[in-house]
Chain A
Amino acid sequence: MTASEHESGATPDPSHHIDGQIEELMTHYGGALLRFLILLVGDRDAAEDCAQDTFIRAYNNLQKGRPVTVHWLYKVARNRALDELQHGRREQTQSESLGDLVALPSPVSAVTASVHRALGQLSPGDREILYLFSVDRFKTADIAVMLGISPEAVRVRLLRARRRFRLAYGAPS
């Protein structure tokens, strides 16, 4: 998924049938959304549930004739993930520190493991903003729509997240 795709392919073609549209959304954004959710909630099964709920809500929206954009998908997925995190806290099934991300599948390189460890030390808020900007390559204006904050606030948060990640990763200052 590239930045140009975000710009051009955000809204599905309305001429398609709703089933086709939801398939298209799942094909294009399913993997990226799952990665985002896994990073956010730190639990692969819970991330699957969140992704499933997100696409079902997208289907409901399409049925009502409302558009489903990539911003909408990420926003709903993120809110669902936050609910999951709060639920996890209540049930204490999550580890106490949300920084404890789910274990990486082996084998992984030492570098990837270090990145994983560093990400684990960040808050979900820092992780999500780094992921959305660096991995999914959304622009700060798009992220602002998803998070419901101003672009300026996104920029400030991005800079802080980068600094914290830098410290956690152990880069020379």
Chain B
Amino acid sequence: MTDHSTFEEMVARRDELSAPEEAALRDHLLVCVACKHDAEIYAEQDSLLRMHAEAEPVDERAIVVRTRVRQAIGRRQTHGMPILRHTIRALPVAAVLTIGAAFALHSYLPTGHSVARPNPVSPTQPGPRGTPGAKTPATPGTTMPKTRRWRVSGVRLLRPDGNARVDRRRAERVTHRRWPGIHIRKVVLAHVRAPNMPAVNGRLCWVVFGRGRLPAAGHGNLAVFVDAHTGRFVLAAASQGP
């Protein structure tokens, strides 16, 4: 003999009942108005929940996840091949040396262009070479001085003047969402000085450097600026570094 509470529990999982259980429940529903009402309500619940689930578009996100997983797996497979691994490790070094040489050459050209360009004003950073009050001259032949300064399409990145409210992972996620397939190389927190780019000028940003597809220019280096307070994407720029 099955009691009422057992039927209540069976009504809640009616989709999976065996044939004998379903037959017993059906007999019970003929005589129990409460359980019959429950059965109707739960059937409606199922259709409502399925409708709700379908309202959430996940196809694009599933593609993003697949891409990220493939990249992670691909990186691991690459790391398992010694020759390729050393080659890939050597590539950034070669790139840094090339950029360093270019910067050094650029700094010493007698055109005055690079000397005349104002450097960021920061109490924690050395001033421009030859400027009165400069603490330390940039070392010739190095890519960048040991201060936290980078050049990104004319944008100056200064030492952060506060704490970020969103973490670095969030910035990376935002970047991955904007640029599925981007290969992130470095992420820095910086106070941005960019008079020509009001959107980022004066903001504390996570700056995500990576290599990815640029509009109408194939693959290239880019820097993605994510607001360090709100976690929102601000803008992306073609990048020379770091």
Is this pair of chains taken from one and the same complex? Answer: yes
Seen from chain A, the residues whose Cβ lies within 8 Å of a Cβ on chain B are: 3, 19, 22-23, 26-27, 30-31, 34-35, 38-39, 44-45, 47-49, 51-52, 55-56, 59, 91, 93, 104-105, 108-109, 111-112, 115-116, 119, 130-131, 133-135, 137, 139-140, 155-156, 158-159, 162, 165-166, 169, 171
Q: Is residue B177 within 8 Å, beta carbon to beta carbon, of the partner chain? A: yes
| Choice from B45, B56, B177 contacting A162 with Cβ under 8 Å | B45
Smallest beta-carbon distance B177→chain A, Å: 7
Smallest beta-carbon distance A72→chain B, Å: 16
A115 to B56, CA, bound (A): 12
Knowing A38-B56, A105-B57, A171-B41, say if A133 contacts B13 (CB, 8 Å).
yes
A134 to B41, CA, bound (A): 13
Is the CB–CB distance between A111 and B65 below 8 Å?
no
Is the CB–CB distance between A140 and B13 below 8 Å?
yes
Is the CB–CB distance between A30 and B66 below 8 Å?
yes
Majority DSSP secondary structure for residues of B touching A: helix
Is the CB–CB distance between A52 and B68 below 8 Å?
yes
| Choice from B46, B62, B173 contacting A30 with Cβ under 8 Å | B62
* Interface residue count on the B side (C-beta < 8 Å): 38
Smallest beta-carbon distance A123→chain B, Å: 16
Is the CB–CB distance between B58 and A35 below 8 Å?
yes
Smallest beta-carbon distance B87→chain A, Å: 22
Is the CB–CB distance between B55 and A104 below 8 Å?
yes
A19 to B61, CA, bound (A): 20
Q: Is residue B109 within 8 Å, beta carbon to beta carbon, of the partner chain? A: no
A-B CB contact pairs (8 Å), 24 listed: A31-B58, A31-B62, A34-B58, A34-B65, A35-B58, A38-B58, A45-B174, A51-B65, A52-B72, A93-B166, A108-B55, A109-B51, A119-B52, A130-B49, A134-B45, A134-B49, A137-B15, A139-B16, A140-B13, A155-B12, A158-B12, A162-B42, A166-B45, A169-B48
Q: Chain B, 102-140, contact with A by CB distance < 8 Å: what is the 0/1 string?
A: 000000000000000000000000000000000000000
Is the CB–CB distance between A165 and B73 below 8 Å?
no
Is the CB–CB distance between A116 and B52 below 8 Å?
yes
A115 to B66, CA, bound (A): 29
Residue of chain B at shortest CB distance from A49: B173
Contacts of B169 in A (CB 8 A): 49
Contacts of A38 in B (CB 8 A): 56, 58
Contacts of A49 in B (CB 8 A): 169, 173
A159 to B14, CA, bound (A): 11
Contacts of A135 in B (CB 8 A): 49-50, 53
Contacts of A91 in B (CB 8 A): 167
A108 to B56, CA, bound (A): 9
Q: Is residue B8 within 8 Å, beta carbon to beta carbon, of the partner chain? A: yes
Smallest beta-carbon distance A137→chain B, Å: 7
A55 to B9, CA, bound (A): 35
A30 to B62, CA, bound (A): 6
